[in-house]
């Protein structure tokens, strides 16, 4: 089986197992998704989802976030780690979006990554979930699972993104990433994968079945 064939098999297996490929971060609009993704750096999605309801209740719009008291924002996001930097990122990003983009998230990786605290992972989430464009979100689950599958042989997020772009059908890439997150939490768990329960065990070269 070639890498391309294995990638297509993985796409179909995960699609059947997780038909609803949803982003694990809760949000009601593109700006909230952007903020949640910035907060998710070095923090679990579950923790971010506990933080954002109070944050967005206090600052329900880009305009409100741009005028936010940074100390108050720090208090609201304190438990997600690196809160000094993240508070600075999200308030400054709100100001830039209003001043330079009319309050609309720019629809390109290049422009998104100019925003404070926005790397390629965050930019790809916005491109895929907001703009419906082909995207590869190289988070820890995707990197681990695609290495185990033998689709990539690197832990470098940029290299993983580029190599998977060459293997995955563009229209499937974004949902494949979401499904890898779900699978990584439920079955292909770091350090204790449940290979016998895995829908990819028949073609995963790393599967341990005995």
DSSP conformation letters of the chain:
--HHHHHHHHHHHHHHH-SS---SS--SSHHHHHHHHHHTTTS-HHHHHHHHHHHHHHS-SHHHHHT--HHHHHHHHGGGS-HHHHHHHHHHHHHHHHHHHTTS--SSHHHHTTSTT--HHHHHHIIIIIT--------HHHHHHHHHTTS-----HHHHHHHHHHHS-HHHHHHHHHHHHHHHHHTS-TTS--GGG-TTTTT-TT----
Catalytic residue among 139, 201, 202, 210: 139
Instruction: Report the C-alpha gap between 165 and 2 in whole angstroms.
Output: 16
Question: What pLDDT does residue 86 have?
Answer: 97
Whether 35 and 52 have beta carbons less than 8 Å apart is answered as: yes
Q: If you count them, how many residues does the chain have?
A: 210
Residue-level pLDDT at 38:
96
Q: List all residues 6 or more positions away from 167 whose beta carbon is below 8 Å from its beta carbon.
A: 3, 4, 7, 151
| Catalytic residue (choose from 45, 86, 121, 129) | 121
pLDDT digits (tens, 9 = 90+) for 147-185: 999 999 999 999 999 999 999 999 999 999 999 999 999
Look up 139 and say whether it is catalytic.
Answer: yes
Q: Give me the pLDDT at residue 2, please.
A: 95
| Confidence band for 22, pLDDT divided at 50, 70 and 90 | confident
Judge whether residue 92 has pLDDT over 80. Answer: yes
- Inform me whether the pLDDT recorded for 210 exceeds 80: no
Share of the chain above pLDDT 90, in %: 93
pLDDT at 180: 97
For residue 59, give both structure tokens: 């600052």
pTM given for the model? 0.91
Write down the pLDDT at residue 74: 97
- On average, the pLDDT of the chain sits at 96
Question: What pLDDT does residue 152 have?
Answer: 98
Q: Give pLDDT, residue 21.
A: 81
Terminal Cα-to-Cα distance of the chain (whole angstroms): 22
How much is the pLDDT for 37?
Answer: 96
Confidence grade of residue 31 (pLDDT, cut at 50, 70, 90)? very high
């Amino acid at each position: 089986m070639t890498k391309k064939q294995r990638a297509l098999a993985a796409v179909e297996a995960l699609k059947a197992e997780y038909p609803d490929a949803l982003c694990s971060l809760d949000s009601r609009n593109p700006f909230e998704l952007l903020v949640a993704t910035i907060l998710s750096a070095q923090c679990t999605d579950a923790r971010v989802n506990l933080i954002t309801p109070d944050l967005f209740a206090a600052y329900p719009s880009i305009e409100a976030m741009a005028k936010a008291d940074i100390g108050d924002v720090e208090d609201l996001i304190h438990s997600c780690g690196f809160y000094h930097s993240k508070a600075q990122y999200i308030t400054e990003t709100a100001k830039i979006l209003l001043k330079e983009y009319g309050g609309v998230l720019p629809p390109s990786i290049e422009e998104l990554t100019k925003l404070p605290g926005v790397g390629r992972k965050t930019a790809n989430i916005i491109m895929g979930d907001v703009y419906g464009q082909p995207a590869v979100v190289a988070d820890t689950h995707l990197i681990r699972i695609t290495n185990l599958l033998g689709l990539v042989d690197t832990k470098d997020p940029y290299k993983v993104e580029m190599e998977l772009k060459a293997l995955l059908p563009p229209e499937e890439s974004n949902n494949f990433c979401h499904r890898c997150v779900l699978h990584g939490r439920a079955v292909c768990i770091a350090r204790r994968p449940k290979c016998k329960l895995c829908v990819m065990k028949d073609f995963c070269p790393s599967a341990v079945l005995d």
